[in-house]
A and B are shown apart, each in its own frame.
Chain A
Amino acid sequence: MFSLKQNCWFIRKVVIWRAVASIAWSVLLLPVTSAVFVLLSRFSLFHPIQWISECTSLLTASSTIFSLVVLCGVVLITGLFNLEFYTLVPSIPCSRMALLGTVLHPRQCVHSLVYCTMGMLVMWCASVTIGGRYSTLGIPCKQSESGEVVTCLNEYHLFLLLAGAFMGYSHSFLGVVKNMYYVSFQPIQQYKYPRFKGCLPMVVKCSVIQSLYSARNFAALYFFFGKIFINLCITLQLYSSLQPLDSLTGLLDFSLLYHLSISGTFLYFTWYLTVLLFRIYVTEAYSFPVQSTFTEDAEQCLPKVLAETNTLVMKFLALQDLALLSQHSLSRRLEVFSLSQPGGHPHNWNAISRECMSLLSELTQRLLAHQDAVASNGRVKSQSASIDTRSASSSSSVVSGTEDVSETPRLSVPLRTPGSVFTSSVGGMHSALTAPFTPDVDSPFSSPAIRRLVGQQEPRSPWFGTVQSPHIMRRGPKLWSASTESQSNGSPPASPATVPSPPAANQKPSFLAQWLQNRREQVKSFLAKRVLIVYLFNKLPEASSQALFADSQAHIWALQGLSHLVAASFSEDQFGVVQTTLPSILSCLVVLLEAVDRHFKLPHASSKPVRTVCSMGDSTYKTLRFALRAALKTAIYKITTTFGEHLNAVNISTEHRKRLQQFLEFKE
């Protein structure tokens, strides 16, 4: 399960230790939260002295110590799950079916099961701590007619245990739906303690609200299904003379509901705190050396680390470090602009700028492919007028020959990048399994075999010099691009580097393939008219847009780092190393700006998402595209205001110059 087989030095030396530190802190904070929980659970307004003395004696009791040990185990497992499941690029399901697939995924099922168990454990500890009528599962009771003492089921205890399981499941479920494991970076840097202090009220508020919601839902659930559940699962018979709990009057017990919500708050708070500490520790800035005097440390230097694609967390932290050094650190900027000692080549600057630009042009290509897909899709729709519900982002294709073929948009591998390819590098083996369910899911109606028949993949050269990621394709000729779909055949390749590229480039689909295609389209158009199918497979609005920009935090840092370095080079670059790359940087930015502008003209792209009220799940990924657009414009302005009229001497094309002139006049 815990596949931490990352042999990257960064995972071994930094990330693991950060995770350990966060878990250690959550364990250390556990006695404090338990003490607060004890105080609240035993609260009595009218006997304050008795209350305090009871609590002190309880806190030192052996049962409490044992509960603490159990809770420590729970926190440890939560921490390990955090380390295993966290992701820097959220997976955004594009349809309800994809969401359903994620929820029902085996890995997610294991996760839910573990959380259910942990929830029951925590609730058991809580009920023991509260004591009184909650303390044990079985209670001795007298049978009314015979008078003999038998063990009866204590329904209060069971109620709390089931509530724990329910809360565990809902935590796990909401973790998927709200991307609980998505770790976002803050716009400002803070030390860990002030940040923790600042976030603590939010965590308390979230856990209280979540606990109240869960308590309400659980009470309703128990009201309807409690009796059935007990009769089904428990062989112990209910001889309790008490009011049965699944009645309206039984549930409307104020103290029961109070204890339920208090324990639920404790439960959620323990988990949320672990998540919060993990987020704080992982997103802490890490300072990579720009260059090193020893060759064995060369792989830990910024230019090398930036080029790394397998360890996503390292790449993100390196880009963040680049953005920070470009703004705050003069000495490190000078290192970037320096020349290599023998030879006098600006290796540092070349590597850094090349890596940033390749990131940005990768985004450009992704956007262009998406726009092509939408555009071609619209055209097909207008011709054949078939109800093609799964439109939006999809393959850039019009299948040749046949007139009425409305190719159901297929999300080729390139578009799946954010969700699956990157998580595969972080989370190990899981991506191979989740890939079919992640953002851009292939049509479930078509089998891989058919798809292999239909078309051949057309190999395309990566667009920008050095970048070898094959998941970005050059915008190809429309006629033949349907064939890219064969890439997405059910079981994606384990590593992006091993995607096979068949030599046959422009091969016409055979007759058989066309016939199969037509059949498939008929089945699809038949299914597309059924309401449930439409509901499940309908694209969620703006989800494809969100998925496109899911990893845009990296691009934002690249933009910031690049623009600030270029602006600083105006006065700090002694050897003129930046001037040689300035034209390509400018044209790269302008091309990206044009692509982004065009993207925001698409439907749903510029609509703002609904703001979530209070939830631990981070929803910043929903607005990343706006942040990227703002960062891009600011980056161009930063360069144009610094260079001013000198830009006229830079060798760039006329359209780009026109666009930059707009920036010089502040007309954007």
Chain B
Amino acid sequence: YGLLDEITNSAEEGMSLTHCNHAAFAVRRFSLWASSFHGSLFPHLTLSSDEMVAEFSQMLDWSDSALRSFAWHPHTDKFAVALLDDSIKIYKSNSSPTPTLKHRCQRSVCALQWKPLCGSALAVACQSCLLIWHVDPASLSTRPSSGCAQVLSHPGHSPITSIAWSPTGSLLVSASPVDTSMMVWDVAAESAVPLQRVGGGGVTYLSWSPDGSRLLAATPSALFRVWETRMWTCERWPCLKGSCQSACWSPDGGCLLLSMQGERVIYALTFSDLTGINNTYSSPVTAFFLMKNHLKQLFCPPFFSGSSFVLRAGDSQADNHPSVIAVFKTRSSPVFELLPCGFVMGEAGAEPRFMQFHPHFQHGALLTVCWSDGRISHVPFYFSSAGLLGGDSPQQALASNTTNPSSNKLYTEQIS
């Protein structure tokens, strides 16, 4: 039967081929025209896959950077670094072995994120798919097999440039600049629900508010959306100029700071209808830096203390000026405030590429910066007096270099 079916099929195909030759040509012409039209609407669609990853990655100059991505574990002293050769290394605070993760699907790693409320799962956004590594924290092996990785993929949903776990760890959202829908994954069941909104031409950056009630989705055009995660409806926020580059939430989820492409301003959005009542996580610590005349990155980990500040990278309009990270204090109540506080500077010639706060540093705040020369440095801030905004001055101690041997120097100095 199978053979005869095949014969029938191939014969049918032959027939239809001659019929459809002209039609196919016309369709191809039309699709070419349509894609060029589409490309003129959304210029990012004309980029190649690698260029697109480089364009929308949170790591600056992603293509020639030695470090491709970086992620702290949300609960323990452990972080993952993606390297230029597409391998991922996991460093822990004690001197346990450092596992190296390699998988044949793991190419052009653009983002990493550890699953909250889990000791082992690490989500990796790759060029063609999404990988979920399950790295057993108790195991001593340095090369976990590729059997430890789950491969999640959806046709038309690549390259993936941003991923975000829900704070409860139950859902994972992934976004691709070529796909107008973002995928909400139930990772264990390997099933995805697409959430589609056509405007904007794709989704480049995702950020889940720490209380889990909202999700920011930035698009390549001058538009971003804020989804509420209960019934998954969204509100559109058109921007005046460029697209949304980076964003961070205040720890209570009530305030969203945004940086736009080509602008040197930080925007703040406040959401009033908070579901929770607890204000124990009162004020955010936020860091971002300004590169090539626009703000590139904002970071804001959960942090409970009355004191707060923001970091910000200096502008590099003057060529001989090195890039610096500027520190700001913030206060979220009664109104949102930003107060300049200080600067963090790298070695001569080194530019900050990526930064992230340690999610639960005991004594203050710990900022981790990836520099352009491939070093990772940790910059701790100790709060001398908690509570009052004016009273605290971040003391900058030597970076603790427990993990990366190359970063055994500190390049921070207080300027202001």
Q: What's the least CB distance linking B348 to chain A, in Å?
A: 39
Q: What's the least CB distance linking A293 to chain B, in Å?
A: 25
A186 at the B interface (CB under 8 A): yes
In the bound complex, do residue B189 and residue A220 qualify as a contact, i.e. CB atoms below 8 Å apart? no
Total contacting residues, chain A, CB less than 8 A: 49
Contacting B at CB under 8 A, from A238-283, are: 248, 251-252, 254, 257
In the bound complex, do residue A254 and residue B170 qualify as a contact, i.e. CB atoms below 8 Å apart? no
In the bound complex, do residue A189 and residue B169 qualify as a contact, i.e. CB atoms below 8 Å apart? no
Contacts of B194 in A (CB 8 A): 198
- A214-234 interface code vs B (CB 8 A; 1 in, 0 out): 001101100100000000000
- List 15 A–B pairs whose Cβ atoms lie within 8 Å, in order of A's numbering: A187-B184, A187-B191, A188-B171, A188-B193, A198-B194, A198-B195, A216-B8, A220-B1, A252-B8, A252-B15, A328-B230, A571-B280, A620-B191, A623-B188, A629-B188
Contacts of A220 in B (CB 8 A): 1, 4-5, 8
Stretch at the interface among A95-103, A407-415, A630-638: A630-638
Partner of A627, one of B1, B5, B186: B186
Rank and list the top 6 A-B pairs by shortest CB-CB distance, nearest first.
A630-B188, A666-B119, A637-B117, A187-B186, A627-B188, A623-B189
Of A190, A257, A564, A608, most B-chain CB atoms within 10 Å = A190
In the bound complex, do residue A330 and residue B118 qualify as a contact, i.e. CB atoms below 8 Å apart? no
Partner of A626, one of B15, B73, B188, B280: B188
Contacts of B230 in A (CB 8 A): 189, 324, 328
B319 at the A interface (CB under 8 A): no
The complex places the Cα of A456 from the Cα of B186 at a distance, in Å, of: 46
- Can you name the residue of chain B whose Cβ is closest to the Cβ of A663? B119
Stretch at the interface among B271-279, B309-317, B327-335: B271-279
Q: What's the least CB distance linking A622 to chain B, in Å?
A: 9
Q: What's the least CB distance linking B287 to chain A, in Å?
A: 24
The complex places the Cα of A667 from the Cα of B139 at a distance, in Å, of: 10
A189 with B231: in contact, given A220-B1, A257-B12, A666-B119 (CB under 8 Å)?
A: yes
A641 at the B interface (CB under 8 A): yes
In the bound complex, do residue B189 and residue A666 qualify as a contact, i.e. CB atoms below 8 Å apart? no
Other 20 A-B pairs with CB < 8 A, given A330-B276, A608-B190, A668-B120 = A45-B23, A187-B186, A188-B229, A190-B232, A194-B233, A216-B9, A223-B8, A251-B8, A254-B15, A254-B19, A257-B12, A327-B212, A328-B230, A571-B278, A611-B190, A620-B189, A631-B188, A637-B118, A666-B119, A668-B137
In the bound complex, do residue B16 and residue A216 qualify as a contact, i.e. CB atoms below 8 Å apart? no
Contacts of B189 in A (CB 8 A): 187, 620, 623-624, 626-627
In the bound complex, do residue A330 and residue B275 qualify as a contact, i.e. CB atoms below 8 Å apart? yes
B386 at the A interface (CB under 8 A): no
Q: What's the least CB distance linking B358 to chain A, in Å?
A: 15
B contact face: mostly helix, strand, loop, or mixed: loop
Residues of B at under 8 Å CB distance from A? Answer: 1, 4-5, 8-9, 11-12, 15-16, 19, 23, 73, 75-76, 117-120, 137-138, 168-171, 181, 184, 186-191, 193-196, 212-213, 229-233, 275-278, 280
A26 at the B interface (CB under 8 A): no
Partner of B275, one of A328, A620, A628: A328
Q: What's the least CB distance linking A562 to chain B, in Å?
A: 13
- Can you name the residue of chain A whose Cβ is closest to the Cβ of B232? A190
Contacts of B184 in A (CB 8 A): 187-188
Contacting B at CB under 8 A, from A641-668, are: 641, 663, 665-668
In the bound complex, do residue A187 and residue B193 qualify as a contact, i.e. CB atoms below 8 Å apart? yes
A560 at the B interface (CB under 8 A): yes
In the bound complex, do residue B137 and residue A634 qualify as a contact, i.e. CB atoms below 8 Å apart? no
A294 at the B interface (CB under 8 A): no
Q: What's the least CB distance linking A277 to chain B, in Å?
A: 17
In the bound complex, do residue B119 and residue A641 qualify as a contact, i.e. CB atoms below 8 Å apart? no
Contacts of B168 in A (CB 8 A): 327, 564, 634, 638
